[in-house]
Amino acid sequence: MIERIETNQRMSKIVKHNGVVYLCGQVGIAEDSVAEQTRECLRRVEDLLAKAGSSPSKILQAIVWLADMEDFAEMNAVWDNWVPEGYAPARACGEAKLARPELKVEMIVTAAYDA
């Protein structure tokens, strides 16, 4: 069974299937530094994971898009303090033109949940 949560015509914020939860891309508040945007993004990820019956310790994979790879170290400083010790997921990070010019970071997360 596939469960879709917070679904509209374009997308679902959460899709659950077979013990895996897929989150739509999450961004931070547009006016802030990359560190603040990363913190907000991760707060949103946590909220969606909780809604899906999961948590940061169950993240399987994270894909991080930065508008500018010059922000890599600043984003990583926030990420490294957020990821539970011993539970780092598989992760990729690349540079991409994001949906709005003021956005500096976007994350796509896949996690396990207790089915």
75 residue type, one letter? M
Domain membership of residue 66 as a residue range: 2-112
Q: Could you tell me the pTM of the whole model?
A: 0.94
Distance between CA atoms of residues 33 and 12, nearest Å? 27
18 residue type, one letter? N
Residue 42 and residue 79 in contact, taking contact as beta carbons nearer than 8 Å: yes
Total number of domains constituting the chain = 1
In tens, the pLDDT along 19-46 reads 999 999 999 987 789 999 999 999 999 9
Nearest to 22, CA basis, from 41, 57, 1, 48: 48
Distance between CA atoms of residues 80 and 70, nearest Å? 17
Domain with residue 84: its CATH number is: 3.30.1330.40
In this prediction, residue 14 has a pLDDT band, given cuts at 50, 70 and 90, of: very high
